[in-house]
């Protein structure tokens, strides 16, 4: 395991300041690698300068100063934590990253599990047993520098990787390729340099610095004209979606919308001993039959163990002050980590059974009271997804009604023919909607705003 670092120099006249910043990044990156470090600099004419040593850069800092000059264009560097499977007792310079080919310089974070197979398939010879060393000769032999053509080679790799690649023939650019291993980018306008490394903490960036996390499963090319090209390693076509469905308005409209858009959907429902469990279960079954889509049910005692919520049976009274407005404005019935747990289970099922995405009825209205209904919750979970699923099994996270409030959801539901008459919104589990809890209040108002008659009955 390693930290990978790269720099594309836009303003070579600032090389001394760029060098100082780079060295600080490399020292912080010891967090991910202390066994050895290496730096290769590509000059304007394609020639190189390099420093490689065992141990930490912080104890040998003097070796790094003076490595840049006014002709330096690209820096490729590595801090290595030697994995058990790659241990070399008597190391030479050939065993220390970055690895150098005839044309390409490469630093790698991750493990290539099929390095021997790649060596045979591409008929190349490496200079060390280290797995990463097989890649530069493959690139030298089969890659012309176009990122679209790099995708095929990378898709042959079994394992994990974040590569930062320099090209001696094109020292005006740098390449970053990754599956689930992270790489961050920072542009320092004052210095005129673009920095790359494995964790954003290593930049020691100020709030005004431009820091970007590069997308997992992507290849990025950046040149000194500040032009960026990107291709995805995985096909992003979404066909099958697993929809977390409570049987309420929001998830029913979300599911119907996706169905009308041509997706193959399956509903996922949780029975977790909540007050409206029987009514919601009855509703979601009818909705599944109406939409003619499969339904998966999960029965769980987890929330009985967690407790501390009035939404569960025996958990206390539902707030009904001000005809339900009080319950609509504050998360009185908060269930600890419920949506995070639901999303995590949905993600696991999606990965295991080949769904391309998961979705739910999370919406803008309830985001006002519930943190896990905020659009940001979904966005952050989507960013987490590539690191919570297996290699090459990226699952997208969708929010079909995430930017809508309740009356907009009702309006959309009517327009697309969602079975709103079958839905159950009430926190209680009576024969009719109570009409006084937060969800009942929002539902009644949403239909009223649209000038529509609510198809369900209320006790009051």
User: What SS3 state is found at 383?
Assistant: helix
What distance in Å separates the CA atoms of residue 112 and residue 126, rounded to the nearest whole number? 14
Query: Do 77 and 33 share a structural domain?
Result: yes
pLDDT the model gives residue 181:
97
Q: Kindly tell me if the per-residue pLDDT of 84 is higher than 80.
A: no
Q: Kindly tell me if the per-residue pLDDT of 15 is higher than 90.
A: yes
How confident is residue 277, by pLDDT bands cut at 50, 70 and 90? Answer: very high
Query: Do 53 and 31 share a structural domain?
Result: yes
Which of 208, 232, 256 terminates a domain? The answer is: 232
> By percentage, how much of the chain surpasses pLDDT 90?
90
CB 332 within 8 A of CB 437: no
Which of 232, 254, 283 terminates a domain? The answer is: 232
Q: Which residue has the higher pLDDT, 205 or 342?
A: 342
Q: Kindly tell me if the per-residue pLDDT of 235 is higher than 80.
A: yes
Q: Kindly tell me if the per-residue pLDDT of 323 is higher than 80.
A: no
Average pLDDT score over residue span 225-239: 94
Of the chain, the end-to-end C-alpha distance in Å amounts to 63
Which of 202, 232, 262 terminates a domain? The answer is: 232
CATH number for 117:
3.60.20.10
Query: Do 280 and 218 share a structural domain?
Result: no
Average pLDDT score over residue span 423-451: 97
258-289 as b/e, with b when 16 or more CB fall inside 10 Å? Answer: bbeeebebbbbbbebbbbbbebbbebbbbbbe
pLDDT the model gives residue 126:
94
Count of domains for the chain: 2
How confident is residue 327, by pLDDT bands cut at 50, 70 and 90? Answer: confident
pLDDT the model gives residue 232:
96
- The DSSP annotation for 245-277 comes to --SSHHHHHHHHHHHHTT-EEEEEEEE-SBTTH
Residue 65 in domain: yes
Residue 442 in domain: yes
How confident is residue 167, by pLDDT bands cut at 50, 70 and 90? Answer: very high
pLDDT the model gives residue 29:
96
Average pLDDT score over residue span 164-183: 98
Q: Kindly tell me if the per-residue pLDDT of 317 is higher than 90.
A: yes
User: Per residue in 36-54, pLDDT tens?
Assistant: 999 999 999 999 999 999 9
What distance in Å separates the CA atoms of residue 183 and residue 202, rounded to the nearest whole number? 11
Query: Do 250 and 223 share a structural domain?
Result: no
How confident is residue 314, by pLDDT bands cut at 50, 70 and 90? Answer: very high
Non-local CB neighbours of 229 within 8 Å, separated by 6+ positions: 147, 220, 221
Q: Kindly tell me if the per-residue pLDDT of 329 is higher than 80.
A: no
What distance in Å separates the CA atoms of residue 190 and residue 212, rounded to the nearest whole number? 17
Residue of 228, 100, 102 whose CA lies nearest to 174: 228
Query: Do 264 and 141 share a structural domain?
Result: no
User: Per residue in 364-403, pLDDT tens?
Assistant: 998 888 999 999 999 999 999 999 999 999 899 999 999 9
Query: Do 252 and 148 share a structural domain?
Result: no
DSSP conformational letter for 444: H
Query: Do 305 and 179 share a structural domain?
Result: no
CATH number for 414:
3.40.50.620
100-131 as b/e, with b when 16 or more CB fall inside 10 Å? Answer: bbebbbbbbbbbbeebeebbeebebebebebb
Query: Do 304 and 173 share a structural domain?
Result: no
Q: Kindly tell me if the per-residue pLDDT of 294 is higher than 90.
A: yes
Starting at the edge strand found earlier in the chain, the sheet holding 218-223 runs 99-100, 104-109, 162-167, 173-178, 218-223, 228-232
Non-local CB neighbours of 91 within 8 Å, separated by 6+ positions: 36, 54
Q: Which token pair is 48?
A: 């190189």
Residue 305 in domain: yes
How confident is residue 195, by pLDDT bands cut at 50, 70 and 90? Answer: very high
**Helices marked H in 292-405 — which ranges?**
302-306, 325-329, 338-353, 375-388
Range of the domain at 48: 2-232
CB 144 within 8 A of CB 134: no
Q: Kindly tell me if the per-residue pLDDT of 237 is higher than 90.
A: no
pTM exceeds 0.85: yes
Query: Do 265 and 194 share a structural domain?
Result: no
Query: Do 339 and 407 share a structural domain?
Result: yes
DSSP conformational letter for 168: T
Among 72-76, 87-91, 254-258, 401-405, the range scoring the smallest mean pLDDT is 87-91
pLDDT the model gives residue 460:
80
Q: What is the mean pLDDT of the chain?
A: 96
pLDDT the model gives residue 445:
97
pLDDT the model gives residue 90:
78
pLDDT the model gives residue 22:
98
Please state whether beta strands 295-299 and 357-359 pair in parallel, antiparallel, or not at all (unpaired): unpaired
pLDDT the model gives residue 230:
98
Residues designated catalytic: 2
Query: Do 112 and 32 share a structural domain?
Result: yes
Query: Do 115 and 190 share a structural domain?
Result: yes
pLDDT the model gives residue 125:
95
Residue 63 in domain: yes
Bond preceding residue 98 cis, omega within 30 of 0:
yes
Residue 98 in domain: yes
Residue 458 in domain: no
């Amino acid at each position: 395991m390693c930290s990978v670092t790269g720099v594309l120099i836009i303003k070579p006249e600032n090389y001394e300041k760029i060098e100082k910043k780079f060295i600080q990044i490399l020292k912080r990156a010891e967090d991910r690698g202390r066994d050895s470090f290496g730096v290769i600099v590509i000059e304007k004419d394609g020639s190189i300068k390099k420093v490689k040593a065992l141990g930490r850069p912080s104890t040998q800092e003097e070796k790094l100063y003076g490595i840049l000059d006014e002709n330096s264009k690209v820096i490729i560097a590595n801090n290595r934590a030697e994995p058990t499977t790659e241990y070399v007792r008597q190391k030479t310079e050939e065993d220390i990253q970055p690895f150098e080919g005839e044309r390409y310089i490469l630093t790698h974070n991750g493990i290539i599990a099929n390095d021997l197979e790649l060596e045979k398939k591409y008929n190349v010879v490496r200079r060390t047993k280290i797995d990463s060393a097989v890649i530069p000769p493959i690139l030298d032999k089969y890659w012309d520098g176009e990122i679209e053509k790099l995708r095929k080679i990378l898709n042959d790799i079994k394992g994990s990787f974040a590569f930062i690649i320099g090209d001696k023939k094109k020292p005006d650019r740098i390449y970053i390729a990754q599956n689930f291993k992270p790489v961050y980018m920072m542009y320092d306008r004052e210095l005129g340099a673009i920095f790359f490394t494995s964790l954003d903490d290593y930049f020691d960036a100020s709030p005004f610095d431009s820091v970007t996390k590069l997308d997992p499963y992507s290849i990025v090319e950046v040149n000194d004209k500040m032009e960026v090209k990107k291709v995805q390693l995985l096909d992003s076509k979404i066909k099958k979606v697993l929809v977390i469905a409570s049987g309420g308005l929001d998830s029913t409209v979300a599911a119907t919308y996706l169905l009308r858009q041509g997706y193959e959907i399956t509903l996922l429902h949780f029975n977790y001993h909540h007050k409206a469990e029987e009514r919601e279960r009855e509703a979601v079954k009818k909705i599944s039959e109406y939409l003619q889509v499969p339904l998966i049910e999960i029965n769980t005692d987890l929330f009985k163990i967690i407790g501390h919520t009035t939404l569960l049976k025996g958990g206390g009274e539902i707030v009904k002050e001000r005809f339900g407005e009080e319950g609509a404005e504050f998360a009185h019935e908060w269930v600890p980590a419920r949506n995070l747990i639901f999303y995590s289970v949905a993600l696991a099922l999606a990965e295991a059974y080949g769904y391309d995405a998961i979705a739910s009825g999370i919406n803008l209205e309830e985001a006002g009271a519930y943190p896990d209904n905020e659009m940001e919750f979904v966005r952050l979970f989507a960013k987490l997804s590539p690191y919570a699923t297996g290699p090459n099994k990226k699952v997208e996270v969708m929010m079909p009604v995430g930017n809508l409030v309740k009356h907009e959801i009702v309006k959309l539901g009517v327009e697309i023919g969602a079975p709103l008459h079958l839905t159950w919104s009430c926190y209680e589990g009576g024969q009719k909607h109570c009409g006084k809890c937060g969800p009942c209040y929002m539902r009644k108002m949403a239909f009223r705003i649209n000038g529509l008659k609510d198809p369900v009955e209320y006790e009051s």
